[in-house]
């Protein structure tokens, strides 16, 4: 019960000139520090999520490229479906390029090594 009364005490009871912070100030500082740490971690994760998004788009483009590989004699696709697959591969590459441009505008410090 003593700790609750300490937190409920009026501000006039605290000596604000004291060099040592009160328990209320310490709790506030610890919460602010924890929130700062969470935001720092979130900033790191967002950078990775940007890279993962582009890698996913490029992976989808590669999957469609594998389907429309008409230069190969073993390709079983007719010209129509092969053209559709080529168009889908180009679309996924365009999405990856557009995402990279937008991400670089939002944060120029993001490294996209080997991507596009």
Q: Please tell me which residue, 74 or 33, carries the higher pLDDT value.
A: 33
3 state DSSP class of 22: coil
Residue 12 lies in a domain: yes
**What's the confidence (pLDDT) of residue 1?**
47
Chain-centre distance of CA 55, in angstroms? 13
Tell me whether residue 115 is in a domain: no
> 93 in a domain, yes or no?
yes
Number of domains in the chain: 1
For the whole model, what pTM was predicted?
Answer: 0.69
Largest Cα–Cα distance of the chain, in whole Å?
87
Each residue's pLDDT tens digit, 78-102: 888 989 999 999 999 999 999 999 9
Q: Is 57 part of any domain?
A: yes
Q: How far is CA 89 from CA 12, 60, 65, 86, in A?
A: 69, 7, 6, 5
In a domain, 112, yes or no: no
Range of the domain at 99: 2-106
- Residue 111 inside a domain? The answer is no
């Amino acid at each position: 019960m003593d700790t609750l009364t300490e937190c409920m005490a009026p501000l006039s009871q605290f000596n604000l000139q004291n060099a040592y912070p009160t328990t209320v100030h310490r709790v506030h500082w610890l919460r602010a520090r924890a929130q700062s740490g969470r935001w720092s971690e979130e900033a790191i994760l967002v950078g990775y999520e940007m890279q993962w998004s582009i890698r996913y788009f490029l992976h989808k483009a590669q999957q469609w490229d594998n389907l429309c590989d008409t230069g190969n004699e073993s390709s079983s696709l007719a010209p129509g479906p092969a053209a559709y697959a080529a168009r889908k591969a180009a679309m996924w590459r365009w999405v990856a390029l557009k995402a990279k441009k937008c991400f670089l505008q939002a944060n120029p410090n993001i490294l996209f090594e080997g991507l596009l």
